[in-house]
């Protein structure tokens, strides 16, 4: 196999909702209540139910020189159009050799946490927004390029009856993925061990919905201090999902729903071998007083069967696939966030996998996703030959991938000052930037 022969599917990218995304999908007579973009001191902010949400890009810095990365953009003119225009996203995917992509929300947060918070004071508005986002995502974003996007839905987690209705509605539209908090207890909802979620687990298993838990959707990598270099937070961010992974691994519902699947989105895989070793040691060493019961199995058996692990650039993890389940490992691009290696995904990925058996390469680059997400990539795109890196890059050969400085020229005063001082950016700098947005 050559690099150009790979077929790459990403199970973790992000879509920035365009200004009228919600408005177009709110019921007639209620469109004036939909989230919308307004101007605020030169910044584009979301206005919804009297509340402003300042970050429209949330680190959507793809296309900038790395020296100009940050935790904005704060205006659409700063964004590469492929972040919010699905047809231009496909162009960027072609240039990147990526055949298909699953996209998390931006304005609602990764698992709809913004809607969950709104539901505490106005559940009707939260439900309207959740449904509208799903309709925009499925009927506009995904439908704009059938076969290139893996549809995923949000659910009104605060209302189980409505959650089940929305899962069934989305399933009827061909959706087999749902974004969910990796730790709902941290966002004011029952823990995953609470009986409240039992109907949700059953519905996801019955409808073949993969539960996608993105880092930061519940449990977060904490800033060690306001003086800590932001690099420390960025480094620990993927591994932070290990706490939630342990919580899910020792949950009891897996016994009742053997077909249930979840993904640890943007969590990386290099830490997984030790995590599984530690989980098995814990079970063997402590179960006589903790009363955990995996029957004839071990925690690692449950994890390997039910949990999809995802990686961006993780050479150590790829070299240690023998300690995982290669049938449950998938690739992620993270476009348009700062961890993405767009437009050089094939080069980075090939450097990690080129020594593997081609059968394993095929599994972790696309076959596992096609199976677990019930996504027939080849049928939707007219055959495997239309999905390879080589073919897609030929289609995208005229896409301009050269760095675009500032993409609009806006930059926060605080970040400018730091840049001039040439000192390490700290967690406090980023927190102050958000506070002033």
Cα–Cα distance measured from residue 365 to residue 329, given in angstroms and rounded to the nearest whole number: 8
In sequence order, which ranges of 239-367 are alpha helices (DSSP H)? Answer: 242-249, 253-256, 272-290, 299-306, 315-319, 345-353, 358-362
Helix (H, G, I), strand (E, B) or coil at 130: helix
Hey, what's the torsion of the CAs at 401, 402, 403, 407, to 10 degrees? -70
Helices (H), 58-192: 86-96, 113-119, 123-135, 160-172
Contact 164, 203 (CB under 8 A): yes
Give the model's pLDDT for residue 410.
Answer: 47
Q: Give strand ranges (E) for 17-174.
A: 36-40, 43-48, 51-53, 98-104, 149-150
Greatest CA span in the chain, whole angstroms? 64
Q: Quick one: pLDDT at residue 221?
A: 80
Per-residue pLDDT of the chain (437 residues; tens, 9 = 90+): 999 999 999 999 999 999 999 999 999 999 999 999 999 988 999 999 999 998 888 899 999 999 888 877 889 999 999 999 999 999 999 999 999 999 999 999 999 999 999 999 999 999 999 999 999 999 999 999 999 999 999 999 999 999 999 999 999 999 999 999 999 999 999 999 999 999 999 999 999 999 999 999 998 788 899 999 999 999 999 999 999 999 999 999 999 999 999 999 999 999 999 999 999 999 999 999 999 999 999 999 999 999 999 999 999 999 999 999 999 999 999 999 999 999 999 999 999 999 999 999 999 999 999 999 999 999 999 999 999 999 999 999 999 999 988 755 545 555 566 666 678 889 888 887 766 55
Q: Is residue 372 within a helix (H) or strand (E), and if so which, with residue range?
A: helix 368-372
- DSSP letters for 408-427: SS---HHHHHHHHHT---BH
Structural domain tally of the chain? 1
pTM for the model stands at 0.96
Q: What is the CATH number of the domain that holds 200?
A: 3.20.20.140
H/E stretch holding 407 reads none
φ and ψ at residue 51, rounded to 5 degrees: -120, 145
- Angle of helix 242-249 relative to helix 272-290, nearest 10 degrees, comes to 50
For residue 331, give its domain range: 3-436
Give me the helix-helix angle, 272-290 and 299-306, nearest 10°.
130
Element (H, E) at 379: helix 377-380
C-alpha separations of 234 from 152, 223, 231 in Å: 26, 9, 5
């Amino acid at each position: 196999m050559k690099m150009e022969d790979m077929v790459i599917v990403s199970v973790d990218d992000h879509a920035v909702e365009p200004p009228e995304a919600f408005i177009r999908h709110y019921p007639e007579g209620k469109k004036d209540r939909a989230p919308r973009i307004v101007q605020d001191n030169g910044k584009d902010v979301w206005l919804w139910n009297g509340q402003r949400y300042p970050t429209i890009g949330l680190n959507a810095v793809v296309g900038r020189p790395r020296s100009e990365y940050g935790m904005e953009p704060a205006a659409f003119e700063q964004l590469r159009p492929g972040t919010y225009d699905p047809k231009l996203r496909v162009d960027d995917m072609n240039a990147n050799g990526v055949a298909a992509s699953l996209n998390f929300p931006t304005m609602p947060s990764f698992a709809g946490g913004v809607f969950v918070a709104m539901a505490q004071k106005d559940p009707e508005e939260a439900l309207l927004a959740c449904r509208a986002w799903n309709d925009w995502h499925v009927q506009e974003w995904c439908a704009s390029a059938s076969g290139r996007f893996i549809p995923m839905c949000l659910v009104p987690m605060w209302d189980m009856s409505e959650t089940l209705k929305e899962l069934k509605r989305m399933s009827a539209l061909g959706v087999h993925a749902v974004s969910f908090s990796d730790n709902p207890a941290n966002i004011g909802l029952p823990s995953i061990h609470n009986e409240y979620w039992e109907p949700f687990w059953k519905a996801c298993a019955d409808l073949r919905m993969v539960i996608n838990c993105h880092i930061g959707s519940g449990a977060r990598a904490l800033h060690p201090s306001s003086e800590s270099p932001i690099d420390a937070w960025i480094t620990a961010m993927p591994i932070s999902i290990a706490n939630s992974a342990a919580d899910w691994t020792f949950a009891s519902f897996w016994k009742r729903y053997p077909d249930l699947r979840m993904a640890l989105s943007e969590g990386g895989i290099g830490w997984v071998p030790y995590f599984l070793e530690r989980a098995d040691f814990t079970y063997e060493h402590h179960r006589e007083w903790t009363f955990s019961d995996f029957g004839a199995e071990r925690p690692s058996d449950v994890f390997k069967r039910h949990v999809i692990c995802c990686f961006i650039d993780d050479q150590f993890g790829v070299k240690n696939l023998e300690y995982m389940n290669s049938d449950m490992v998938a690739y992620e691009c993270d476009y348009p966030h700062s961890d993405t290696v767009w437009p050089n995904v094939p080069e980075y990925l090939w450097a990690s996998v080129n020594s593997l058996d081609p059968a394993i390469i095929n599994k972790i680059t696309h076959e596992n996703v096609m199976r677990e997400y019930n996504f027939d990539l080849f049928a939707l795109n007219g055959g495997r030959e239309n999905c390879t890196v080589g073919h897609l890059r030929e289609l995208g050969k005229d896409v301009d991938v050269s760095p675009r400085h500032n993409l609009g020229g806006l930059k926060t005063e605080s970040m400018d000052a730091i840049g001039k001082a040439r000192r390490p950016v700290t967690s406090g700098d980023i927190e102050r930037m958000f506070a002033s947005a």
